[in-house]
Structure 1
Amino acid sequence: MRTAYDSKLLYYLCIAAGLVTGTWRNTLWSISLLLLQLVGLTYNLLSLFFIPRNVASSILHIGITLPLNHISGIVTLSLPLTKKYKQKIFYLQQASNIDTLMYKNTKKHMPNIILAPIVVIIILFHCVDIYIWNYNNGFIMTTVHEIIVHISSITSSIMACQYLIYVQAIKHHLHYLNKSLNNKDIHKFRQIYDKLYEFCKLINSIYGLQIFLKILSCISAVITNAYGTLSFLHSLIVKRNNKIIISTGLTQIGWTLLGSFKMIIICLLCQKASNESITLISKVQKLLLQENITQNIMIQLQLFSKQIVRNRTEFTANGICVINFSLMYTIIGILTTYIIVLIQI
């Protein structure tokens, strides 16, 4: 089912990625893609027995990065086939109620979101990488497996885009709440915030595990490709290069930048949405400091302040960690450490 926040482009991308199961055809397509990812994961695990044990980057790429990619795709494709997906209907009702409470004309206040076109650019990059891989290798089995890996990555990217659109919607509603906050309608604002909090909890429960796996796969991919990029730059310095090395090196640079961009955009948008909640606490405290407010309004403001503190609007990766700038700084530390370790091996 298409939500009020999904553009037509994103909706059709979700259908193509197997994330929509409204009809038997869509369900069959989703199951087919899921089976394809299971085949890809099996092939990947079998190929572990044939990789050279003395090349750390190959072990990391085939032993960790690719399996994480497949697992992320499998979990993402499993979501529409579970009963938990029916919770999204309740989520749609919540979103509609929030808009009805906050705005008279809901379309006028919809957040301006440009994430779907970014996914199209990512898909084009995947296509270029498949072409370069096929040109450099030419082996049918490895090319087919590479295509399956790319499908998994594209699927999880579309899922992440959908997740971030909902995050942006919550951020947009909180921002409007901050702008409209006054002493007259505190009870109404408390109702709106409660619905936004439930909205946020539902998003975390549906997408938390997928986002966590997506972040893990991005970390692993960035480490592998950053090491490959450094090796490529070293080959340029010693003038030991050819068309294959150059094309592979350029794609590794692209993968490093793409993986970094995905992690940054996820942490950035979640942090910005959480900041609106922090701003709301500050504004409520300022209203409490005003003079000549009635006892009833003061009680409502105090209750609202406690409500915001106890029910923080924050986004978590399945309860494992909070997605914000602190997570991004931790990721930077992990990336730096493991890249240095790989260089020293």
Structure 2
Amino acid sequence: MITYFKLNRRRTFRSSSSVQNHFVFQNDGGQERPMDFSYMEKFELFGAYNRYIHSEVDVLLGVWQILPHDLISEIPVDDESKKGTWFLQQLGDDRPIVLYCHGNKPSRATPHRVMLYKVLQNMNFHVITFDYRGFADSTDVEPSENGVVQDTIAMINWIRAHSKSSPLYIWGHSLGTGIASKATRILCESNLCPDALILQSPFTSIKDELHSSRKTLPFRIFPWFDAMFVQPLNEHGLTFDTKENILYVTCPLLILHAEDDAVVPYSLGKKLFQIVFESRNSDSKSVKFVTFDKKFKYGHNYICRAPELPIIVREFLRESVAKNL
């Protein structure tokens, strides 16, 4: 999640909000040419529909709606103009819905993300994944912490407007864990909490990430490190203080972290779990931490390769939510 910054860029970083935004979101890299997000078959992703949803009046979000595996054969093929309406109607079929909040870098089409969608699709979950403002084919405006959280809440409101009584789970990965946690806090404080929150490779705050990442190690020995990197992000409102936000999240929480995560240290995921566990009076049914041994080499992005992942998710949801599983 941390980008390498040379020492001679310190002054630019401190004075430029755009540089700080890029440091956190990295939303303009990794795509060499424009991508057609409506052609999902090139990713071998079937049973999906590309649409655009308003977050705010002037902000459109690119969205993929991915059907549960068992519904793919029922997709109407005779009238393309009605397909979008048909897909929308399926959200109210009582199957669980997962809203996926991705991390930084380019888009919802990143290969390791598509791998996870397929795992969830094969579990017969609906999957909704989207790009925040400033990412991919969403409206090209500069992202901010409040902006991407607003985008997430807009997606949740859209899902709920069409899903009837279907359970809703929010899944965040990497930077998306900070976004998902803050959005879930806002919902819980309004008595609109989702049915569960799943955090993959989470961090406790941007500050803690900066002080723990291998990529910042050469700079942390200098006395100006906090003044040049941490303080400007705080002043710009880029804190993603998950350890604070998570205290206001009341729905069941599952944390997944690989020991060999080289991007977000495993210790931060463990620390976040301990904070929640202690705040909930050791209620083991509502909060769970799952470790993936370093021997499997899942790292930061590939917990989706774990063959036991569907079992882990189902068992947690069955114990803590016990709805439509």
TM-score between both structures, scaled by the size of structure 2: 0.31
- More helix, by proportion: 1
Structure with greater strand percent:
2
Q: Could you state the TM-score of these two structures normalised by the residue count of structure 1? A: 0.29
Higher relative contact order (CA 8 A, sep 6+): 1
Larger Rg: 1
